[in-house]
A = this chain, B = another copy of it.
Amino acid sequence: MDHIKIFSPATVANVSCGYDVLGFCLDSVGDEMIIHKISEKGVKISKIDGYDLPYEIEKNVAGVSALAMYEALQPDCGFDIEIYKKIKPGSGIGSSSASAAGSVFGMNELLGRPLNKTELTKYALKGEALASQCEHADNLAPAIFGGFTLVRSVDPIDVLQLPTLGDLFATLIHPQIEIKTSESRAILPKNVALKDAITQWSNVGSLVHALHTNDYDILSKSLNDTIAEPHRKQLIPHFDSLKGEVIKAGALGCGISGSGPSIFALSHGEKMAKEVEKTMQNVYSKTEIPFYTFISKVNSQGIKIL
Protein backbone atom coordinates (compact mmCIF):
# COMPACT_ATOMS: atom_id res chain seq x y z
CA MET A 1 0.00 0.00 0.00
CA ASP A 2 1.61 3.27 -1.07
CA HIS A 3 -1.25 5.64 -0.31
CA ILE A 4 -4.42 5.80 1.73
CA LYS A 5 -7.53 7.97 1.65
CA ILE A 6 -9.20 8.66 4.97
CA PHE A 7 -12.18 10.47 6.45
CA SER A 8 -11.30 12.31 9.66
CA PRO A 9 -14.51 13.32 11.44
CA ALA A 10 -15.71 16.44 13.16
CA THR A 11 -16.29 16.04 16.91
CA VAL A 12 -18.20 17.66 19.76
CA ALA A 13 -16.18 18.35 22.90
CA ASN A 14 -17.47 18.93 26.47
CA VAL A 15 -20.98 17.52 25.80
CA SER A 16 -22.56 19.99 28.26
CA CYS A 17 -21.57 18.51 31.61
CA GLY A 18 -18.09 17.24 30.72
CA TYR A 19 -16.01 20.37 30.27
CA ASP A 20 -12.47 19.41 29.22
CA VAL A 21 -13.04 15.65 29.46
CA LEU A 22 -16.01 14.40 27.39
CA GLY A 23 -16.46 14.32 23.63
CA PHE A 24 -18.27 12.44 20.89
CA CYS A 25 -17.62 11.74 17.24
CA LEU A 26 -19.71 12.87 14.25
CA ASP A 27 -20.20 10.92 11.06
CA SER A 28 -21.50 13.18 8.30
CA VAL A 29 -18.91 15.95 8.35
CA GLY A 30 -15.15 15.54 8.32
CA ASP A 31 -11.94 16.25 6.46
CA GLU A 32 -10.67 13.95 3.75
CA MET A 33 -6.99 13.33 3.44
CA ILE A 34 -4.84 11.33 1.06
CA ILE A 35 -1.48 10.30 2.43
CA HIS A 36 1.24 8.92 0.19
CA LYS A 37 4.22 6.90 1.30
CA ILE A 38 7.16 8.24 -0.73
CA SER A 39 10.81 7.28 -1.04
CA GLU A 40 12.06 10.78 -0.28
CA LYS A 41 12.47 11.12 3.49
CA GLY A 42 10.54 13.68 5.54
CA VAL A 43 6.96 14.93 5.67
CA LYS A 44 5.46 17.40 3.21
CA ILE A 45 2.04 18.78 2.36
CA SER A 46 1.45 18.91 -1.39
CA LYS A 47 -2.18 20.00 -1.50
CA ILE A 48 -4.66 21.87 0.67
CA ASP A 49 -8.15 22.23 -0.68
CA GLY A 50 -11.07 24.09 0.89
CA TYR A 51 -9.52 26.61 3.24
CA ASP A 52 -6.43 28.80 3.11
CA LEU A 53 -4.04 27.04 5.47
CA PRO A 54 -0.22 27.04 5.58
CA TYR A 55 1.77 24.47 3.62
CA GLU A 56 4.79 24.80 5.94
CA ILE A 57 4.91 21.63 8.01
CA GLU A 58 5.73 23.46 11.25
CA LYS A 59 2.77 25.82 10.84
CA ASN A 60 0.12 23.27 9.84
CA VAL A 61 -1.55 21.16 12.56
CA ALA A 62 -1.60 18.05 10.35
CA GLY A 63 2.06 18.72 9.57
CA VAL A 64 3.12 19.19 13.19
CA SER A 65 1.46 15.98 14.37
CA ALA A 66 2.84 14.07 11.38
CA LEU A 67 6.33 15.37 12.03
CA ALA A 68 6.20 14.48 15.74
CA MET A 69 5.26 10.90 14.87
CA TYR A 70 7.75 10.76 11.98
CA GLU A 71 10.65 11.87 14.16
CA ALA A 72 9.75 9.38 16.86
CA LEU A 73 9.41 6.40 14.51
CA GLN A 74 12.14 7.40 12.00
CA PRO A 75 10.72 5.22 9.24
CA ASP A 76 12.73 4.39 6.12
CA CYS A 77 10.44 6.48 3.90
CA GLY A 78 8.69 9.83 3.72
CA PHE A 79 5.07 11.02 3.53
CA ASP A 80 3.19 13.41 1.28
CA ILE A 81 -0.12 14.70 2.63
CA GLU A 82 -3.08 16.02 0.66
CA ILE A 83 -5.73 17.76 2.76
CA TYR A 84 -9.30 18.24 1.53
CA LYS A 85 -10.48 20.47 4.34
CA LYS A 86 -14.24 20.29 4.85
CA ILE A 87 -14.50 21.38 8.49
CA LYS A 88 -14.30 25.14 8.75
CA PRO A 89 -11.51 26.20 11.12
CA GLY A 90 -12.86 27.93 14.23
CA SER A 91 -16.34 26.42 13.98
CA GLY A 92 -16.08 24.59 17.31
CA ILE A 93 -16.44 21.06 15.98
CA GLY A 94 -12.83 19.94 16.16
CA SER A 95 -11.46 21.22 12.86
CA SER A 96 -7.83 21.21 14.01
CA SER A 97 -8.24 17.86 15.75
CA ALA A 98 -9.51 16.24 12.56
CA SER A 99 -6.42 17.43 10.67
CA ALA A 100 -4.01 16.55 13.48
CA ALA A 101 -5.51 13.08 13.95
CA GLY A 102 -5.93 12.33 10.24
CA SER A 103 -2.28 12.62 9.27
CA VAL A 104 -0.97 10.36 12.05
CA PHE A 105 -3.78 7.83 11.53
CA GLY A 106 -2.99 7.59 7.82
CA MET A 107 0.76 7.29 8.30
CA ASN A 108 0.24 4.60 10.93
CA GLU A 109 -1.89 2.57 8.51
CA LEU A 110 0.75 2.90 5.75
CA LEU A 111 3.44 1.70 8.19
CA GLY A 112 1.44 -1.38 9.19
CA ARG A 113 -0.04 0.02 12.41
CA PRO A 114 2.99 0.14 14.71
CA LEU A 115 1.09 2.49 17.05
CA ASN A 116 -2.11 2.03 19.05
CA LYS A 117 -4.82 4.68 19.40
CA THR A 118 -3.38 6.07 22.61
CA GLU A 119 0.02 6.56 20.95
CA LEU A 120 -1.64 8.19 17.93
CA THR A 121 -3.38 10.60 20.30
CA LYS A 122 -0.01 11.51 21.82
CA TYR A 123 1.37 12.69 18.46
CA ALA A 124 -1.88 14.26 17.32
CA LEU A 125 -1.78 16.34 20.51
CA LYS A 126 1.29 18.15 19.15
CA GLY A 127 -0.74 19.43 16.21
CA GLU A 128 -3.70 20.30 18.42
CA ALA A 129 -1.39 22.31 20.67
CA LEU A 130 -0.33 24.43 17.69
CA ALA A 131 -3.96 25.35 17.02
CA SER A 132 -5.20 25.94 20.56
CA GLN A 133 -2.01 26.85 22.45
CA CYS A 134 -2.62 24.06 24.91
CA GLU A 135 -2.60 20.28 24.82
CA HIS A 136 -6.18 19.12 25.18
CA ALA A 137 -7.57 15.92 23.77
CA ASP A 138 -11.33 16.23 24.17
CA ASN A 139 -11.78 16.55 20.38
CA LEU A 140 -8.86 14.30 19.40
CA ALA A 141 -9.97 11.34 21.50
CA PRO A 142 -13.43 10.93 19.91
CA ALA A 143 -11.94 11.46 16.41
CA ILE A 144 -9.40 8.66 16.99
CA PHE A 145 -11.36 6.28 19.25
CA GLY A 146 -14.89 6.97 17.95
CA GLY A 147 -18.13 7.16 19.91
CA PHE A 148 -18.05 8.89 23.28
CA THR A 149 -14.75 9.32 25.07
CA LEU A 150 -13.60 10.52 28.46
CA VAL A 151 -10.09 11.93 28.62
CA ARG A 152 -8.72 11.11 32.08
CA SER A 153 -5.34 12.65 31.44
CA VAL A 154 -3.17 14.00 28.60
CA ASP A 155 0.19 13.41 30.29
CA PRO A 156 0.26 10.48 30.04
CA ILE A 157 -2.59 10.03 27.58
CA ASP A 158 -5.42 8.14 29.28
CA VAL A 159 -8.64 7.85 27.29
CA LEU A 160 -11.73 5.83 28.22
CA GLN A 161 -13.84 4.60 25.33
CA LEU A 162 -17.48 4.81 26.41
CA PRO A 163 -20.36 2.98 24.74
CA THR A 164 -22.76 4.85 22.46
CA LEU A 165 -26.54 4.67 22.46
CA GLY A 166 -27.79 2.83 19.39
CA ASP A 167 -30.10 5.48 17.99
CA LEU A 168 -28.45 8.71 19.01
CA PHE A 169 -28.29 11.58 16.52
CA ALA A 170 -26.68 14.99 16.76
CA THR A 171 -27.92 18.21 15.20
CA LEU A 172 -25.43 21.03 14.76
CA ILE A 173 -25.83 24.68 13.93
CA HIS A 174 -22.83 26.82 13.10
CA PRO A 175 -23.57 30.53 13.42
CA GLN A 176 -20.97 32.19 11.20
CA ILE A 177 -19.38 34.32 13.88
CA GLU A 178 -15.82 34.11 15.14
CA ILE A 179 -14.96 33.10 18.69
CA LYS A 180 -11.31 32.53 19.48
CA THR A 181 -10.65 29.49 21.67
CA SER A 182 -8.38 31.69 23.78
CA GLU A 183 -11.24 34.17 24.33
CA SER A 184 -13.64 31.37 25.12
CA ARG A 185 -11.20 29.94 27.68
CA ALA A 186 -10.43 33.35 29.19
CA ILE A 187 -14.11 34.01 29.89
CA LEU A 188 -14.23 31.10 32.33
CA PRO A 189 -13.49 31.86 36.00
CA LYS A 190 -10.49 30.19 37.65
CA ASN A 191 -12.70 29.20 40.58
CA VAL A 192 -16.21 27.80 40.59
CA ALA A 193 -18.85 27.38 43.28
CA LEU A 194 -18.56 24.00 45.00
CA LYS A 195 -22.32 23.45 44.65
CA ASP A 196 -22.12 23.97 40.87
CA ALA A 197 -19.13 21.64 40.63
CA ILE A 198 -21.07 18.96 42.56
CA THR A 199 -23.93 19.23 40.07
CA GLN A 200 -21.45 18.91 37.23
CA TRP A 201 -19.81 15.72 38.52
CA SER A 202 -23.17 14.26 39.35
CA ASN A 203 -24.13 14.83 35.71
CA VAL A 204 -20.88 13.41 34.33
CA GLY A 205 -21.39 10.28 36.41
CA SER A 206 -24.98 9.88 35.32
CA LEU A 207 -24.14 10.56 31.65
CA VAL A 208 -21.59 7.72 31.73
CA HIS A 209 -24.22 5.53 33.44
CA ALA A 210 -26.77 6.45 30.75
CA LEU A 211 -24.38 5.42 27.98
CA HIS A 212 -23.76 2.06 29.64
CA THR A 213 -27.43 1.37 30.28
CA ASN A 214 -28.80 2.72 26.97
CA ASP A 215 -31.02 5.11 28.93
CA TYR A 216 -32.12 8.15 26.89
CA ASP A 217 -34.03 9.62 29.81
CA ILE A 218 -31.02 9.69 32.14
CA LEU A 219 -28.84 10.93 29.28
CA SER A 220 -31.26 13.80 28.81
CA LYS A 221 -31.23 14.74 32.49
CA SER A 222 -27.41 14.66 32.50
CA LEU A 223 -26.97 17.09 29.60
CA ASN A 224 -26.64 20.21 31.74
CA ASP A 225 -23.67 22.47 32.18
CA THR A 226 -23.39 24.54 35.35
CA ILE A 227 -19.78 25.58 34.71
CA ALA A 228 -18.90 26.75 31.18
CA GLU A 229 -22.22 27.43 29.44
CA PRO A 230 -23.42 30.20 31.81
CA HIS A 231 -20.30 32.20 30.86
CA ARG A 232 -19.73 31.17 27.25
CA LYS A 233 -23.29 31.53 26.04
CA GLN A 234 -22.95 35.33 26.09
CA LEU A 235 -20.49 34.94 23.17
CA ILE A 236 -23.18 33.25 21.06
CA PRO A 237 -26.14 35.45 20.07
CA HIS A 238 -29.62 33.95 20.62
CA PHE A 239 -28.21 30.93 22.47
CA ASP A 240 -30.90 30.85 25.17
CA SER A 241 -33.83 31.18 22.79
CA LEU A 242 -32.41 28.56 20.43
CA LYS A 243 -31.79 26.12 23.28
CA GLY A 244 -35.25 26.72 24.69
CA GLU A 245 -36.92 26.00 21.34
CA VAL A 246 -34.76 22.94 20.69
CA ILE A 247 -35.63 21.39 24.05
CA LYS A 248 -39.31 22.20 23.48
CA ALA A 249 -39.07 20.46 20.10
CA GLY A 250 -38.00 17.26 21.86
CA ALA A 251 -34.21 17.15 21.88
CA LEU A 252 -32.58 15.25 24.74
CA GLY A 253 -30.26 18.16 25.39
CA CYS A 254 -28.53 21.12 23.79
CA GLY A 255 -25.28 22.94 24.50
CA ILE A 256 -22.21 24.67 23.15
CA SER A 257 -20.00 22.45 21.00
CA GLY A 258 -16.50 22.74 22.40
CA SER A 259 -15.75 26.43 22.85
CA GLY A 260 -18.36 27.41 20.25
CA PRO A 261 -19.76 29.08 18.28
CA SER A 262 -21.37 25.84 17.03
CA ILE A 263 -24.28 24.56 19.11
CA PHE A 264 -25.15 20.87 19.30
CA ALA A 265 -28.29 19.02 20.25
CA LEU A 266 -28.69 15.30 20.85
CA SER A 267 -31.87 13.46 19.88
CA HIS A 268 -33.32 9.98 20.09
CA GLY A 269 -33.66 8.96 16.45
CA GLU A 270 -33.02 10.61 13.10
CA LYS A 271 -36.57 11.93 12.73
CA MET A 272 -36.29 13.99 15.91
CA ALA A 273 -32.82 15.20 14.91
CA LYS A 274 -34.36 16.56 11.69
CA GLU A 275 -37.17 18.25 13.63
CA VAL A 276 -34.54 19.85 15.83
CA GLU A 277 -32.63 21.00 12.75
CA LYS A 278 -35.77 22.73 11.42
CA THR A 279 -36.26 24.38 14.79
CA MET A 280 -32.67 25.68 14.79
CA GLN A 281 -33.13 27.01 11.26
CA ASN A 282 -36.36 28.77 12.26
CA VAL A 283 -34.73 30.53 15.20
CA TYR A 284 -31.65 31.67 13.29
CA SER A 285 -33.53 32.64 10.12
CA LYS A 286 -35.04 35.48 12.10
CA THR A 287 -31.58 36.90 12.85
CA GLU A 288 -29.05 38.65 10.60
CA ILE A 289 -26.41 36.00 11.29
CA PRO A 290 -25.51 33.57 8.49
CA PHE A 291 -25.48 29.93 9.61
CA TYR A 292 -25.54 26.37 8.42
CA THR A 293 -26.90 23.24 10.04
CA PHE A 294 -26.43 19.51 9.68
CA ILE A 295 -27.39 16.29 11.39
CA SER A 296 -25.21 13.27 12.05
CA LYS A 297 -25.41 9.87 13.66
CA VAL A 298 -22.91 9.46 16.46
CA ASN A 299 -19.95 7.75 14.79
CA SER A 300 -18.79 4.83 16.90
CA GLN A 301 -15.76 4.07 14.72
CA GLY A 302 -13.87 7.36 14.50
CA ILE A 303 -11.51 7.98 11.56
CA LYS A 304 -12.37 5.77 8.59
CA ILE A 305 -10.45 4.47 5.59
CA LEU A 306 -12.31 5.44 2.41
Inter-subunit contact B150/A198 (CB<8 Å): no
Is A190 within 8 A of B200, CB to CB?
Answer: no
Q: Nearest-CB distance from A122 to chain B (Å)?
A: 18
Q: Across the interface, which residues of B come within 8 angstroms of A223, CB to CB?
A: none
Contact A227 B20 (CB under 8 A): no
A98→B218 CA distance, assembly (Å):
28
Which of A152, A205, A206, A221: most chain B CB closer than 10 A?
Answer: A205
CA distance A168 to B41 in the complex (A): 53
The number of times this chain is found in the oligomer is 2
Q: Which residues of B contact A198 (CB under 8 A)?
A: 19-21
A266 at the interface (CB under 8 A from B): no
Chain B hits for A207, CB < 8 A? 205
With most chain B CB atoms within 10 A of its CB, the pick from A151, A192, A204, A221 is A204
In chain A, positions 1-33 with a C-beta closer than 8 Å to chain B are: 17-22
Check B21 against A202 for contact (C-beta < 8 Å). yes
Flag A39-67 by CB within 8 Å of B: 1 or 0 each.
Answer: 00000000000000000000000000000
Inter-chain contact A152/B212, CB cutoff 8 Å: no
Known: A160-B218, A212-B212, A218-B160. A197 touches B205 (CB 8 A): no
Q: A193 to B194, Cβ gap below 8 A?
A: no
* Of B191, B204, B209, the contact of A193 (CB 8 Å cutoff): B191
- The reply on A112 being an interface residue by CB < 8 A is no
- For window 134-151 of A, CB contacts with B under 8 Å fall at 150-151
> In the complex, A207 Cα to B204 Cα: how many Å?
10
B192 and A188: CB pair below 8 A? no
Interface residues of A in 173-229 (CB under 8 A from B): 188-194, 197-198, 200-209, 212-213, 218, 221, 227
Cross-chain contact B221 with A152 (CB below 8 angstroms): yes
Is A162 an interface residue when CB atoms closer than 8 A count as contact?
yes
In the bound complex, residues from chain B placing their C-beta under 8 Å from that of A212 are: 208-209, 212-213
A213's nearest neighbour on chain B, judged by CB, is B212
Q: Are B205 and A22 closer than 8 Å at their CB atoms? A: yes
Task: With A160-B218, A212-B212 as known contacts, state yes or no: A194 contacts B205, CB within 8 Å.
Answer: no
Task: Report B-chain residues with C-beta under 8 Å of the C-beta of A218.
Answer: 160
Alpha-carbon distance between A22 and B208 when the two chains are bound, in angstroms: 14
Which residues of A does B touch, CB under 8 Å? 17-22, 150-153, 158, 160, 162, 188-194, 197-198, 200-209, 212-213, 218, 221, 227
- Contacts A17-B201, A206-B208, A212-B212 known; list 11 others, CB within 8 Å: A18-B201, A18-B205, A19-B198, A21-B198, A22-B205, A150-B209, A152-B203, A190-B193, A192-B194, A197-B201, A208-B209
- Would you list the 4 A-B pairs with minimal beta carbon distance, nearest first? A201-B201, A212-B212, A197-B197, A201-B204
